[in-house]
Structure 1
Amino acid sequence: MSKMTASTLAELPANTKFASSRDPLSSTSSIDKDGIGNSVSEHTDSGHDLLPPVDEKPRFTDLLFHRKSRQSADLDAIATRRSVYDDPHLAKHYWPKDSYENLHRFDPDARWTFREERVRDCADSERSVGSHSIEFQALVRKIDWRVMLWAAISFSALNIDRGNLSQANTDNFLPDLGMTTNDYNMGNTVFRVAFLAAELPSQLVSKKVGPDRWIPTQMCLWSIVTLAQFWLSGRSSFLVCRALLGFIQGGFIPDLILYLSYFYTKTELPMRLALFWISSNVCSIVASFIAYGVLHLRGYLGRAGWRWLFLVEGVLTLAIGLMTFFMMPPSPTQTRTWFRPNGWFNEREETIVVSRVLRDDPTKGDMHNREGLTIKRLWTAVCDYDLWPLYILGLMFGIPISPPGTYLTLSLRNLGFGTFTTNLLTIPSTVLGIVTMFLVTLLSEAVNDRAIVSMLEDIWALPFLVAIYCLPANPNQWIYYVTTFPIQITLTSAHHVSQGLATALLSYPYTHPIQVGWCSRNSGAVASRTVNASLYNMFVQASSVVAANIYQQDDAPRYRRGNRTLIIISCVNLAVLYPGTKLYYIWRNKQRDRIWNAMTPEEQTHYLETTTDAGNRRLDFRFAH
């Protein structure tokens, strides 16, 4: 059955009417696709009680201060948004497949209120509507606490195990194993290549068995490898462990993002992804304190502190992985199990969760959550050239930032800072990064733009890269103190100023959450979203492989050749790639506008009934930019 996203609402005929239930708290209906025409037509009116589609552009201050929610006096007003399911002629073309696991809770006539969806009302937690007793809770907040929170904890477990190598470097990790900086580069390269190679296979396994099973399995496996690094003996064992970690962790991030898309709308997801990566930064801060304590064990039982770090963090993430088997239900309607007999949502809440997600994006009903991808669907998604510009951005956007971040701890040690001070000095840039990432994601949703807002990462990085490159041998310490004021550290030598600038540089607004959500939105179907998210992340990992080899041993300690390369790449991103991607999607949308608007209503209906196009290949799909 043909489907489309909510972005097509802007292209509906001007005389389209939407349904409006006269009972805003109607119980779950038994409407099916064969009876949709009669059922909807009984309720069709002007649709004045439905909210407009989600492509509206709120003001930045409204989002920042929740001004609109405070101005809404009637908490029992309808919060349901218009969608294609409110038109009896269109609804049947976008009906979920019979195999869709949440179909029994989908109700196009369901209406819900602001009180149910978003407002917490502790003083009046229960009201009676007709013969039904409805428990009023903030449903979105419940999803945040039950689903998003544990997803963030799982993601933090990934970053604990990915970041501990940097912390180990502060405890003479390389000298203890008889390795050089180039060996360290090789280890990062091996990890990224293995991570990249596992992305797509991991996603295919996950789509077949379900992310609720595959994600915790991955976590347990990589935790075992992490703690096994306690017994590293040299370069060979180091490279083997890096390869195993990369291969097991590959696919985890897009898999978790796909899982979150089952619960959130497309405008809610980017902010949750920002919180997703914020949790990673918070985890990095916590991990720095853990490392500060554990590395004091150097010499205990004759072992280096970094060995105990791998062991402790491996055991910690293994415990989180085992708990994830019990904390990740397959879907909104499958939260009941033997150890959770009452589930997380009642029937009314399940109806709202499912209906609001499908209203926002009908394509989320075109596959079962344990349905594997066919070779044909896989190949179609790989050949989707409209996503290639985003893959190129994934390859290029992170390179200017990555080498300074990778070498932060090594550079601090080279400047004479001790093991424990070095771990603490990584915290300021992490804290500032949390703030800038949240603000830039909020800005993106406020102005409904992704390409231009995502340029802010390179705009932030470029001046610092130029300053680091142009440092004189004996700089004026007060001038550079002002330049490095964001980190509040007085630095008195060229190397110290360089490191201060690097720390300020690493406080950049991380735009990866915006771009991940952008790729997901422009995929337009579950099958495409699964593959395209993996392909995008593969290019991001390839970016890390490139970045890991820009700083070389013969260019140390100033890395002037490497920094010159980073400056050039940043300029290319700003002048060519981001503007070019935005212009490309504007051009593609105009192309489709010309074709679609030239068709008569009868031709449009015939197209919807007969097309084999799927996802973003459909003429009624419009790309976000």
Structure 2
Amino acid sequence: MDPTLSKEKPHFEVLEAVSSSSDVDDFSDVDKKKVLRKVDIGILPLFSLLYLLSFIDRTNIGNAKVEGIAQDLNLVGNQFNMVLLIFGVTYTLFEIPSNMILRRVNPRIFLPATMVLWSIVMTLMGTVRNYAQLMVTRALLGVFEASLFPGMSFMLSMYYSKSEVLIRQTLFFSAASMAGAFSGLLAAGISQMDGLGGYEGWRWIFILEGLATFVVAFFAFFVFPMHPEKCSFLTPREREYVLHKVKYSSNTDGQKMGKKLDNDESQMVRADMGEDDSNSRHYVWAVFKDWQSWCMLMIYYGVCAPVAGMSIFTPIIISGFGHSNTKTQLMAVPVFIVGTIFGILQSFACSRVGLRSPFLIFNFICMAIGYTICIAFDVRTHTSAVYAALFVISLGAYPAFPVVVIWFSNNLSGAYKRAVGMAFQISFGQLATVYASNFYREKDFPQFTLGHSLELGFILVGLLFVIICLSGYSYCNAKRRKDLAAGKYDSFTDEDFRRMGDKSPHFVYRL
């Protein structure tokens, strides 16, 4: 390199592992571990409970299918699949608007209010008498549930740094896999009420689970967290620290790969840069123009399709083994528990090494192996092999879900862009749920070769885009190092870099 160029190159603070502080305030008077504990206690149990109820309410239709809803409502042809599809359509349409609203309004009012509305719809679903009424209630359920998952995911990104958020997102999302276990246990118990009050067992599943959500939603109005700057369980000084921590968090935080950042990469990181936290509308369009948005969407498809298939159709697949309804519901429980436990363990490992892509590749391979077994073996003669395959799929599907969401979130800069980007990924990714709802047709029962094959196709496409994303991020990081060394951005101001968000040469993509 030209020595004169080397002398002219601006100085950058070297960052090795942990989050940086600004030169103005290092918050040495704040007990940072205590603040983290307070945020964990104030957010994670509540978020996990709310998402558990959300996932139970959207997937208990699979348990109702086992208990005879299709026969009682005279559903024919693909009508049951259309009932599943309509939820995904309305859920997709309302997620992005919901997250844009959440950025501007009080979450303590907005999110619990949507919960109250869907709990009422869920309860009324237990009174439907025909296909049309079931379609209307499922459509409304999608509308009102649309705000919760992207909203709470964005709330987590407002309270936790990039190195802290994955474990918390996984603990929160583990409620989804546990919902499969709880849903099976609840369905096995509630279905014993069949005939009580003249209602079939599946009606009581909807009614009681809807009422449970209503009770929790009512109390959520009093305990749901506000935005960090108004958080009631933190002191004013602690709020300042949380806002500072998130604003100055970078993708080099928490890297523990057995080596420090090389000199070129450390020069990319500006400890005093911070994130643009304005509500500029240019960030909305920036999401749609960003190559990584579309790649991450394809990865999300590869995860969301099997998660949707597992969540709804696992009891239906197991019913093909020929057991009683109660035993079928109970056999589904350990499948989801395994996914929950492994997901939590994986999140700790993932956070420790600071990487996302190697774990996603492993998850996709597990899912591919599981569905290949389901295709290769006859469910009627090799029930043990198919049942074991469901566990293998669970090892991949549920642990992958929070990783792909947080990987994208980590690589977005600009608070408003991150809010829109997460909603973009999650909402359009729900189209995979729409597709998956039609993979498993009644006429293919119990083998479901077509459904398993389509799931496998989505998984392989998702795996391909993990590799594409990894390559793209590596290329961008290398190019930014080169451009900085060449002095390409010497005339740029800090404000220019801040407004560039994740396109800034000082932004390091997490791999």
TM-score category (smaller protein): 0.7 to 0.9
Count of residues in correspondence between the two structures:
481
Q: CA–CA distance in 2 between the matches of 1:465 and 1:313? A: 31
Q: Which residue in the other structure is 1:620 paired with?
A: 506
1:117 to 8, 13, 32: 32
Q: Which residue in the other structure is 1:184 paired with?
A: 80
Q: Which residue in the other structure is 1:535 paired with?
A: 424
1:256 aligns with 2:142: no
Q: CA–CA distance in 2 between the matches of 1:316 and 1:275? A: 21
Q: Which residue in the other structure is 1:267 paired with?
A: 163
Q: Which residue in the other structure is 1:427 paired with?
A: 333
Going from structure 1 to structure 2, the CA distance change for 1:605 and 1:217 (only over 3 Å counts) comes to: farther
Query: % of aligned pairs identical?
Result: 22
User: What is the TM-score normalised by the length of structure 2?
Assistant: 0.86
2:218 to 322, 328, 342: 322
Deviations 1:138-159 (A, max 9, x none): 3211211112221222212211
1:313 aligns with 2:230: no
1:514 to 388, 403, 407: 403
Q: CA–CA distance in 1 between the matches of 2:242 and 2:155? A: 14
Alignment of 1:349-498 (within 5 A): 349-360=238-249, 366-367=277-278, 373=279, 375-400=281-306, 402-471=308-377, 493-495=381-383, 497-498=385-386
User: What is the TM-score normalised by the length of structure 1?
Assistant: 0.71
Answer yes or no: is the 8 Å Cα contact 1:262–1:332 preserved in 2.
yes
Going from structure 1 to structure 2, the CA distance change for 1:359 and 1:165 (only over 3 Å counts) comes to: same
2:114 to 199, 218, 242: 218
Shift of 1:261: 1.8
Answer yes or no: is the 8 Å Cα contact 1:198–1:250 preserved in 2.
yes
Answer yes or no: is the 8 Å Cα contact 1:464–1:501 preserved in 2.
yes
Q: CA–CA distance in 1 between the matches of 2:153 and 2:481? A: 30
Q: CA–CA distance in 2 between the matches of 1:202 and 1:331? A: 15
Q: CA–CA distance in 2 between the matches of 1:303 and 1:610? A: 64
Answer yes or no: is the 8 Å Cα contact 1:230–1:307 preserved in 2.
yes
Q: CA–CA distance in 2 between the matches of 1:267 and 1:213? A: 29
Aligned-partner SS, 2:439: coil
Going from structure 1 to structure 2, the CA distance change for 1:363 and 1:155 (only over 3 Å counts) comes to: farther
Which amino acid is 1:559 matched to?
F
Which amino acid is 1:111 matched to?
S
Answer yes or no: is the 8 Å Cα contact 1:296–1:305 preserved in 2.
yes
Deviations 1:122-177 (A, max 9, x none): xxxxxxxxxxxxxxxx3211211112221222212211211221221221111111
Going from structure 1 to structure 2, the CA distance change for 1:616 and 1:610 (only over 3 Å counts) comes to: closer
Q: Which residue in the other structure is 1:593 paired with?
A: 481
Q: Which residue in the other structure is 1:68 paired with?
A: none
Q: CA–CA distance in 2 between the matches of 1:577 and 1:458? A: 11
1:583 aligns with 2:500: no
1:279 aligns with 2:175: yes
1:170 aligns with 2:81: no
Shift of 1:568: 3.8
Q: CA–CA distance in 2 between the matches of 1:571 and 1:446? A: 27
Q: CA–CA distance in 2 between the matches of 1:161 and 1:398? A: 17
Going from structure 1 to structure 2, the CA distance change for 1:559 and 1:291 (only over 3 Å counts) comes to: closer
Shift of 1:453: 1.4
Which amino acid is 2:75 matched to?
M
1:82 aligns with 2:52: no
Q: Which residue in the other structure is 1:239 paired with?
A: 135
Q: CA–CA distance in 2 between the matches of 1:621 and 1:227? A: 48
Question: RMSD value over aligned CA atoms?
Answer: 2.7
Going from structure 1 to structure 2, the CA distance change for 1:203 and 1:405 (only over 3 Å counts) comes to: closer
Shift of 1:228: 0.8
Shift of 1:245: 0.7
Which amino acid is 1:216 matched to?
P
Q: Which residue in the other structure is 2:444 paired with?
A: 555
Going from structure 1 to structure 2, the CA distance change for 1:363 and 1:313 (only over 3 Å counts) comes to: farther
Shift of 1:363: 5.1
Q: CA–CA distance in 2 between the matches of 1:360 and 1:572? A: 32
Q: Which residue in the other structure is 1:5 paired with?
A: none
Structure 2 unaligned blocks of 5 or more:
1-8, 251-272
Going from structure 1 to structure 2, the CA distance change for 1:215 and 1:405 (only over 3 Å counts) comes to: closer
Which amino acid is 1:313 matched to?
E
Going from structure 1 to structure 2, the CA distance change for 1:253 and 1:279 (only over 3 Å counts) comes to: same
Greater fraction of residues in helix: 2
Answer yes or no: is the 8 Å Cα contact 1:437–1:510 preserved in 2.
yes
Shift of 1:353: 2.8
Q: CA–CA distance in 2 between the matches of 1:251 and 1:193? A: 14
Answer yes or no: is the 8 Å Cα contact 2:320–2:445 preserved in 1.
no
Q: CA–CA distance in 1 between the matches of 2:184 and 2:447? A: 26
Q: Which residue in the other structure is 1:303 paired with?
A: 199
Going from structure 1 to structure 2, the CA distance change for 1:184 and 1:586 (only over 3 Å counts) comes to: same
Q: CA–CA distance in 2 between the matches of 1:161 and 1:405? A: 11
Answer yes or no: is the 8 Å Cα contact 2:115–2:213 preserved in 1.
yes
Q: Based on CA coordinates, which of the two structures has the bigger radius of gyration?
A: 1
Segment drifting more, 434-443 vs 306-315: 434-443
Going from structure 1 to structure 2, the CA distance change for 1:448 and 1:298 (only over 3 Å counts) comes to: same
Q: Which residue in the other structure is 1:108 paired with?
A: 25
Which amino acid is 2:438 matched to?
N
Going from structure 1 to structure 2, the CA distance change for 1:201 and 1:609 (only over 3 Å counts) comes to: closer
Answer yes or no: is the 8 Å Cα contact 1:381–1:527 preserved in 2.
no
Answer yes or no: is the 8 Å Cα contact 2:371–2:456 preserved in 1.
yes
Deviations 1:230-271 (A, max 9, x none): 211111111111111111111321111111222111111000
Which amino acid is 1:452 matched to?
P
Q: CA–CA distance in 1 between the matches of 2:88 and 2:407? A: 23
Q: CA–CA distance in 2 between the matches of 1:462 and 1:287? A: 26
Which amino acid is 2:28 matched to?
R
Q: CA–CA distance in 1 between the matches of 2:304 and 2:277? A: 33
Which amino acid is 1:403 matched to?
G
1:155 aligns with 2:20: no
Q: Which residue in the other structure is 2:184 paired with?
A: 288
Q: CA–CA distance in 1 between the matches of 2:378 and 2:196? A: 44
Aligned-partner SS, 1:510: helix
